[in-house]
Structure 1
Amino acid sequence: MKRFIGEPLPVPLTPAVQCGSMLFLSGQVPTRPDGSIPEGIAAQTELVLQKLGALAKEAGYDYGDIVKTTVFLRDMKDFDAVNDVYRKFFPKDPPARSCVRAEVAIAADVEIEAIAMKDQ
């Protein structure tokens, strides 16, 4: 059984879908409610991870339930700065992760998607 999480969006995707004990979180980008994007990769990464956490929490999960992330970076030179912020959210036993260079769909420098799972 699937459960759809998050507010409807103007694009054809669901912010998160829960299937059994697994939660699939669509890629989050660093847009504020007013549509603006913070300056700098650290601020953008912080906002993206906060948004992922809020979406996970809405479904009854937390950062400790995240088992896999994929980080999309516009420029790989930002890798170390992203890691510095990422460590704050996953200080111990971080999830499996991939990181790829990609053009993000908006004028942002980072997008992160995640998979979370609850122990049954």
Structure 2
Amino acid sequence: MIQVTVYRTKDENIRSFEISGHAESGPYGYDLVCAGVSAVSIGAVNAVLELCDIDLEIKQGEEGGYLAVNIPNNLSPDERDKVQLLFEGMLISLKAIEMEYNKFIQIRQK
């Protein structure tokens, strides 16, 4: 199962998130849940890097199945708003996957 954990600040902004595990909803290379989660999460990270020009702290597993992203604390209010919008959009897409495939993905927020 894929575990998504989103960590928020006291004012409900996303400060970091971690995605780990494998969906195992299909054969290796044909797992649609894993492909969807990967596309959504990596797409959001790439959007922040490219559109916001912000250096994120990113950790990835050597063989896939793990992604951790920390958002810097020293962002301007405008930068923070842009990053939050992109990562909240990611979370909406991940929740849509979870609604359809809840045996293979679980989202928690802390």
| TM-score of the two chains, using structure 1 as the length reference | 0.28
| TM-score of the two chains, using structure 2 as the length reference | 0.30
- Bigger helix share: 2
- Bigger strand share: 1
